[in-house]
């Protein structure tokens, strides 16, 4: 499957089951794969597939950059139109044209297309329908984005998809006229953890290559690969005539072009053999093993590939559960007034297929999974047990809606650090990266009264370490993990220093010295 076919909105009966009255939703973290895009490189032009695709008309109309006067004291929007050039048959510069001789609206490789913008905007609309219209968790009209955290990887299609999803969730008529520009958090590529960062983590790059080589040795001479060769080898380049995991193009590269062509118009299609149902099922199975088997088998792979991000995910939930709310200076307007800070209720991150599959695989929720389609998403939801009486309701409302009260709430580790008061809202939380076993029993009990649930494309995810023990999940529903159990699982693959650990165990093979226990994913 290439383009996600979203399910219908939850019915009242489904909502009642998915969001029990005994639980109160407190924090939502959404990770969304970008929408439909062009292939990341030109392949199979020998089949007649155009190297340039004419599906980026929106980008052509929206292109804008900042321009200043000579003193750099003021800025204006500089509008411009994009056209693309290419090499001619004599290496001369010629205009790049699309499949139908278009010369504008031409996409670059890996660029979000008009359809990708439509599907991510529609994802935002679905998020609004659930969290605003059906659950009333987020307000109908926004005056600012102080209670939201928006982040994207440095890759443009992820940022643009995040923007589309935000606009779908809060369109113009759902924002006040004085709504300030929202903050979108970014990181340097060298420090990016919102996708598995092979380029800047040497040990993870080694592990990824080792697992890819293992997949090649397992599958290149198999009956399944023979079937793919019968379908596609006649279209492979002369220098690499056989279809293989490590051929050129790689098997995953073939999948990239198939999926991108399948998502767009008839002018950019491969020969029919590429869409053979059995062939695509084989392709998906092998590619998933090549890219994601490491998360199931290796704790070191989980730790370096997605552990830093999952550590952040858990830290935010722990701060929400025991510190009076999660706050982030990067997501706020820049005010240093601690009493003006709001707790974050909704986070949205623009990322990639490798992010989503890594999250699911690392917690044991991707068994027999298929490659995530364009515009897939994971919602990580945190719940607390609902209060039982009016006094509890009033106390909770005051605690989580009044920044003054929240900022005075004692920190989770106060008993370990001489009853030190909690940090101010914009200061780092003292709970960050604190191992579960270091928490006081009183705090552990609080974590057991909070529940975590993952929904992948609106389907709840079963995490084996939570489902296997009654004390680790909500009675009657194994998909709700206690925050205590979920943190215990994630702690096992949260690095203490991601950058340092990326330089350890170099050359140690498929399983390094710290991976001897072979902890299964999700436990």
DSSP states of 472-505: GEETTEEEEEEHHHHHHHHHTT--S-HHHHTTSS
Confidence of residue 415 (pLDDT cuts 50, 70, 90): very low
353 is catalytic: yes
Catalytic residue among 147, 353, 484, 515: 353
Give the lowest-confidence range in 33-42, 378-387, 410-419.
410-419
Give the lowest-confidence range in 66-75, 463-472, 483-492.
66-75
- 87 token code pair: 């090499």
DSSP assigned state of 260: H
Q: What is the pLDDT of residue 519?
A: 87
Q: Give the integer Cα–Cα distance in Å for 39 and 154.
A: 18
Among the ranges 94-98, 258-262, 394-398, which has the highest mean pLDDT value? 258-262
Confidence of residue 99 (pLDDT cuts 50, 70, 90): confident
Dihedral sign of CA atoms 38, 44, 45, 48 in order: negative
Does residue 489 lie within any of the structural domains? yes
Q: What is the pLDDT of residue 478?
A: 97
Q: Bigger pLDDT: 89 or 252?
A: 252
Pick left, alpha or beta for residue 164 (phi over 0 → left; psi -120 to 50 → alpha; otherwise beta).
Answer: alpha
pLDDT at 71 over 80: no
Per DSSP, the three-state class of 94 is strand
DSSP assigned state of 175: B
Confidence of residue 511 (pLDDT cuts 50, 70, 90): confident
Q: What is the pLDDT of residue 144?
A: 96
Q: Give the integer Cα–Cα distance in Å for 274 and 110.
A: 20
Give the lowest-confidence range in 5-14, 252-261, 425-434, 449-458.
425-434
- 481 token code pair: 């993990």
Report the share of the chain in percent with pLDDT over 70: 86
Does residue 495 lie within any of the structural domains? yes
> Are 378 and 455 in contact, with CB atoms under 8 Å apart?
yes
For residue 99, what is the domain's CATH number? 3.40.50
Q: What is the pLDDT of residue 361?
A: 98
Confidence of residue 400 (pLDDT cuts 50, 70, 90): very low
pLDDT at 96 over 60: yes
As a whole number, mean pLDDT of residues 346-356 equals: 98
Confidence of residue 410 (pLDDT cuts 50, 70, 90): very low
Dihedral sign of CA atoms 335, 336, 341, 346 in order: positive
Q: Give the integer Cα–Cα distance in Å for 83 and 514.
A: 52
Does residue 508 lie within any of the structural domains? yes
As a whole number, mean pLDDT of residues 250-270 equals: 97
Q: Give the integer Cα–Cα distance in Å for 12 and 126.
A: 16
As a whole number, mean pLDDT of residues 145-163 equals: 97
C-alpha separations of 206 from 76, 211, 500, 504, 507 in Å: 46, 9, 15, 11, 8
Does residue 185 lie within any of the structural domains? no
Does residue 422 lie within any of the structural domains? yes
Full domain range(s) for residue 19: 1-61+87-113+203-344+352-523
Confidence of residue 275 (pLDDT cuts 50, 70, 90): very high
Per DSSP, the three-state class of 471 is helix
Does residue 80 lie within any of the structural domains? no
Q: What is the pLDDT of residue 335?
A: 47
389 is catalytic: no
Confidence of residue 417 (pLDDT cuts 50, 70, 90): very low
> Are 417 and 336 in contact, with CB atoms under 8 Å apart?
no
Report the share of the chain in percent with pLDDT over 90: 75
Q: Bigger pLDDT: 63 or 94?
A: 94
Asked if the bond preceding 249 is cis, omega within 30° of 0, the reply is yes
As a whole number, mean pLDDT of residues 197-225 equals: 98
Each residue of 221-250: pLDDT tens digit?
A: 999 999 999 999 999 999 999 999 999 999
pLDDT at 152 over 80: yes
Does residue 166 lie within any of the structural domains? no
- 127 token code pair: 């998020």
Q: Give the integer Cα–Cα distance in Å for 421 and 157.
A: 42
DSSP assigned state of 367: T
Each residue of 291-315: pLDDT tens digit?
A: 999 999 999 999 999 999 999 999 9
pLDDT at 54 over 80: yes
Q: Bigger pLDDT: 333 or 493?
A: 493
- Return mean pLDDT, the chain: 89
- To the question of pTM greater than 0.85 for the whole model, the response is yes
Give the lowest-confidence range in 81-85, 206-210, 498-502.
81-85
DSSP assigned state of 114: H
Per DSSP, the three-state class of 23 is strand
Closest by Cα among 155, 117, 122, 113 to 352: 155
Q: What is the pLDDT of residue 463?
A: 98
pLDDT at 424 over 80: no
Structural domains of the chain, count: 1
Does residue 12 lie within any of the structural domains? yes
Q: Bigger pLDDT: 392 or 48?
A: 48
Confidence of residue 100 (pLDDT cuts 50, 70, 90): confident
pLDDT at 336 over 60: no
pLDDT at 334 over 60: no
Torsion of CA 435, 438, 439, 441, to 10 degrees: 130
- 243 token code pair: 């279809």
- 129 token code pair: 């329908």
Q: What is the pLDDT of residue 452?
A: 98
Give the lowest-confidence range in 70-84, 331-345, 450-464.
331-345
Q: What is the pLDDT of residue 333?
A: 57
Q: What is the pLDDT of residue 423?
A: 38
Catalytic residue among 34, 352, 473, 511: 34
The dihedrals phi and psi of 348, each to the nearest 5 degrees, come to -140, 125
């Amino acid at each position: 499957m290439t383009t996600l076919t979203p399910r219908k909105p939850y019915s009242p009966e489904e909502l009642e089951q998915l969001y029990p009255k005994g639980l109160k939703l407190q924090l939502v973290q959404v990770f969304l794969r970008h929408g439909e895009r062009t292939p990341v490189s030109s392949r199979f032009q020998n089949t007649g597939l155009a190297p340039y695709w004419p599906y980026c008309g929106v980008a052509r109309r929206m292109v804008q950059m900042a321009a200043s006067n000579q003193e750099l004291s003021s800025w204006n929007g500089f509008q411009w139109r994009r056209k693309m050039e290419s090499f001619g048959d004599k290496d001369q510069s010629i205009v790049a044209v699309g499949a139908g001789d278009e010369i504008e609206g031409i996409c670059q490789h890996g660029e979000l297309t008009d359809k990708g913008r439509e599907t991510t905007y529609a994802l935002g609309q679905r998020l609004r329908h659930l969290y605003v219209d059906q659950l009333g968790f987020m307000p109908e009209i926004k005056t600012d984005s102080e209670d939201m955290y928006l982040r994207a990887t440095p890759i443009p299609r992820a940022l643009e998809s995040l923007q589309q999803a935000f606009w779908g969730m809060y369109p113009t008529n759902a924002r006040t006229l004085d709504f300030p520009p929202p903050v979108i958090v970014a990181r340097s590529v060298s420090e990016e953890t919102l996708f598995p960062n092979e380029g800047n983590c040497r040990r993870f790059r080694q592990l990824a290559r080792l697992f890819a080589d293992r997949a090649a040795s397992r599958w290149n001479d198999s009956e399944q690969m023979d079937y793919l060769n019968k379908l596609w080898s006649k279209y492979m380049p002369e220098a690499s005539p056989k279809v293989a995991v490590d051929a050129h193009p790689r098997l995953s590269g073939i999948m990239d072009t198939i999926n991108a062509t399948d998502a767009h118009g008839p002018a950019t299609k491969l020969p029919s053999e590429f869409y053979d149902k059995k062939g695509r099922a084989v392709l998906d199975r092998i590619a998933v093993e090549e890219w994601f088997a490491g998360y199931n088998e290796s704790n070191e792979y989980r730790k370096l590939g997605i552990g830093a991000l999952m550590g952040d995910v858990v830290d935010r939930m722990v701060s929400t559960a025991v510190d009076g709310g999660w706050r982030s200076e990067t997501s706020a307007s820049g005010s240093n007034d601690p009493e003006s800070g709001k707790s974050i209720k909704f986070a949205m991150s623009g990322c990639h297929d490798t992010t989503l599959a890594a999250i699911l695989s690392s917690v044991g929720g991707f068994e027999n999974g298929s490659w995530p389609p364009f515009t897939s998403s994971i919602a990580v939801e945190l719940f607390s047990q609902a209060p039982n009486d009016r006094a509890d309701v009033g106390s909770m409302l005051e605690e989580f809606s009044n920044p003054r009260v929240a900022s005075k709430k004692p920190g989770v580790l106060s008993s370990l650090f001489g009853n030190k008061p909690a940090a101010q809202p914009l200061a780092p939380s003292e709970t960050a990266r604190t191992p579960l076993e270091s928490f006081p029993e009183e705090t552990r009990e609080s974590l057991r009264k909070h529940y975590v649930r993952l929904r992948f494309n609106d389907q709840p995810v079963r995490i084996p370490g939570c489902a296997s023990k009654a004390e680790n999940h909500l009675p009657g529903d194994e998909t709700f993990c206690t925050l205590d159990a979920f943190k215990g699982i994630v702690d096992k693959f949260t690095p203490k220093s991601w950058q340092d650990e990326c330089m350890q165990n170099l050359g140690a093979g498929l399983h390094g010295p710290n991976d001897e226990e072979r902890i299964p994913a999700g436990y």
